[in-house]
Structure 1
Amino acid sequence: MTADALSQEEIDALLKGSAEGPSETHRIEPPSVPARQLEAVAKYARMMASTLGDMIGTFLASPASFTYEKADPQTSEGTSGVISGPVVVASFRYTSALNGQSALIFSEKDARRIGGTMVGDPEASAFADMVSDAFKEVVSTILGNLNTSLGAPMGAAVSNAAARVDGVTASAAELTSALGGEEQFVLISYDMRVGDSVRGKCWQLASVDLVASMEPLAMPPPKPAPKEAPQPVKAAPVEFDSLTEDTTAPPAPPNLDLLKDIGLEVRVELGRSNMKIRDILKLGGGSVVELDKLAGEPVDLLVNDVIFAKGEVVVIDENFGVRITDILSLADRVKTLGERKG
């Protein structure tokens, strides 16, 4: 034998080691999840906790409170040491907006109470088919309400496939199976309180791809577009024509002929008087009403209720008439109009 040749003992040792396989097994590490995605998971979990409290409190007819505690990147092997069985796992897959596998996990005792209450047997001793179906219906209602709440922050409708409910012992293999073969995920823990006596925990598993799809939840809501500053308005003083004394009629516009056949109401006003109701009620035949004009004072001639001229009353054959003594200027007409309205 040469110096480089192996002895029989060395050959036997190598063969023995090959038959026994590698001395160390491959260990799966928890996934590396960015902080932004964990922030999104926390927001999702708070919404889930609120929905769990509202729905389970309604179904059990008792005040219920669920509080999000933490979210940890985990493996199925590591999680089996956190969750002790027997438990009930409701596994489901998000299919729209959110994408990935998830599972809600309750202790079998709590799941029996929830499902049993739905079928009229809150103290059900076994997680039988009827209780399981009722619990599944509760989970479906919870997810439906949660999906509605998630729609706005996700910016799209959220939906999931039908949930599957199984009673398991929370072994690593069973947790992996519940998550569709995923061995890495995020473990979400909730504190559960129902009424005055029930204190416990429930959990949720979220696959790595589901956690990644939650990232829009970590984005701040869009800020409203800033309002444009109002543009300055240039204001110019308004100029009015001065009212001057002018007794001459203004020149007629070229198209005045078009207006000459329009009828206007012309009235002559002898005077006015203000009276109290009691005095008006006393009026009768022979009563005299004193006016605000003096005897011999010119009367007013009004055109469409605007004083146009002044004159004196005359008798023409058997009719009264008015002899025009003064045509009011534009300034006087405006002045008398203001006095009459006052």
Structure 2
Amino acid sequence: MSNGFLSQEEIDSLLNGSMETQEPELISDIEKDLLGEIGNISMGSASTALYQLINKQVNITTPKVKITTLREIKNNFEYPNIILDVEYVSGITGRNILIMQTTDAAVIANLMMGGDGQVNTTELSELEVSAVQEAMNQMIGSAATSMATMFAREVNISPPKSTIWRDINEKVSENIPEDEAIVEVRFDLTIEGLLQSNMMQILPIDTAKKIVSIMMGEEQEVSKEIGQEAAYDGDYKSEEKSISTVEAKKIEEKPVEVHGASFEPLSQGIVGESHKNIDLILDVPLEVSVILGRTKKSIKDILNLSTGSLIELDKLAEEPVEILINGKKIAYGEVVVVDENFGVRITSIVSGADRIRSLK
């Protein structure tokens, strides 16, 4: 700047900077945090599945989420790698790609085949590739099951397609353009003193957006069957409607016979036998649980929880707690301390009407 005035270059620079700041974000910071938390939970299930296969402790760190492209990933990744490409077929739509270096895959394959995990090769035999593919298949399947629990809906995946990525010129995915913006969720993976590496999960922007909208309660599940039915022409729908109408009329015209219900009288002997047979089930274990209180929190509040956070419940300090048997409320009580352990003293038994309401 000279004489108190901006030069043309400075003006252009400011304008360009202003335009860049006004460009909308593909994924907001809150959405990144939510995707990271979802990835943390789902890949935690995946690490459990891997532990069961190799019988070694597996740790996956908190994920790091960022926007990138497949081309950028290719330019910053070492070769060779093994890629698992999965398509969601119900619950949500889109794809999920898992990438792991073959050196790490070789350790996992060796452990699965009964070895000690000490390997010094980047080449995988056909048997080792099959073993790693099965391990990644189990991991992504467990992750999908975990997502189904979080989404409160069924989530199914297609049979995974796996390939060995040996060269930068090879495509990572046939379905995602290399210059298209994607979401990268990266984890640090460690296996009990044998392996310390990273694993990558790739989601298209649309898939990431759908996952976020489901978790925020903004999207309802739409089945593919409904979409396929809407693709048929109007004549077919009219014909189907007329057939349904004819069948309905036939049902209406069919005479209906109504009879009163008849029951055999109860005998005293049968009642007596039932009291004797109750001894057969006296040793059946039942789960007893106590509800201290409940509350509702938004996803934003849940993500802000940390060590030391306080959660206020819907019960006052002097109110009785609920006592449940196999998930059914049967009594109320008060919390006591017995030999440095918590206990509950029953103060009242739920009445018959209250018990019926709790079963509904």
TM normalised by structure 1 equals 0.51
Alignment of 1:258-269 (within 5 A): none
Alignment of 1:188-337 (within 5 A): 188-216=185-213, 218-219=215-216, 223=296
Q: Which amino acid aligns with 1:42?
A: G
Going from structure 1 to structure 2, the CA distance change for 1:173 and 1:76 (only over 3 Å counts) comes to: farther
Secondary structure class of the residue paired with 1:127: coil
**Would you say 1:33 and 2:14 are equivalent positions?**
no
Query: How many corresponding residue pairs?
Result: 197
Structure 2 gap ranges (5+)? 1-22, 218-294, 298-312, 315-360
Secondary structure class of the residue paired with 2:45: helix
TM normalised by structure 2 equals 0.49
TM-superposed CA distance for 1:197, in Å, is 3.5
Q: Distance in 1 between matches of 2:148 and 2:133?
A: 23
Going from structure 1 to structure 2, the CA distance change for 1:30 and 1:68 (only over 3 Å counts) comes to: farther
Match of 2:137 among 128, 137, 140: 140
1:156-213 Cα distance to aligned partner (Å, 9 max, x none): 1111111111111363752243x54463211111011111232111111111121112
TM-superposed CA distance for 1:219, in Å, is 2.7
Q: Distance in 2 between matches of 1:62 and 1:162?
A: 26
**Would you say 1:111 and 2:105 are equivalent positions?**
yes
1:127-152 Cα distance to aligned partner (Å, 9 max, x none): 22222222121122222222222223
Q: Distance in 1 between matches of 2:205 and 2:166?
A: 23
% identical equivalent positions: 15
Q: Which deviates the most, 191-200 or 34-43?
A: 34-43
Q: Distance in 1 between matches of 2:137 and 2:33?
A: 25
Match of 1:95 in 2: 89
Going from structure 1 to structure 2, the CA distance change for 1:105 and 1:170 (only over 3 Å counts) comes to: farther
Going from structure 1 to structure 2, the CA distance change for 1:67 and 1:217 (only over 3 Å counts) comes to: farther
Q: Which has the higher helix share?
A: 2
Secondary structure class of the residue paired with 2:159: coil
- Say whether the 8 Å CA contact 1:73–1:185 is kept in structure 2: yes
1:225-268 Cα distance to aligned partner (Å, 9 max, x none): x99xxxxxxxxxxxxxxxxxxxxxxxxxxxxxxxxxxxxxxxxx
Instruction: Kindly name which structure, 1 or 2, has the bigger radius of gyration based on alpha carbons.
Output: 1
TM-superposed CA distance for 1:114, in Å, is 1.6
Match of 1:257 in 2: none
Going from structure 1 to structure 2, the CA distance change for 1:82 and 1:45 (only over 3 Å counts) comes to: farther
Q: Distance in 1 between matches of 2:110 and 2:47?
A: 18
Match of 1:72 among 66, 89, 114: 66
Match of 2:128 in 1: 131
Match of 1:317 in 2: none
Q: Distance in 2 between matches of 1:168 and 1:35?
A: 31
Q: Distance in 2 between matches of 1:218 and 1:168?
A: 33
Match of 2:9 in 1: none
- Say whether the 8 Å CA contact 1:84–1:169 is kept in structure 2: no
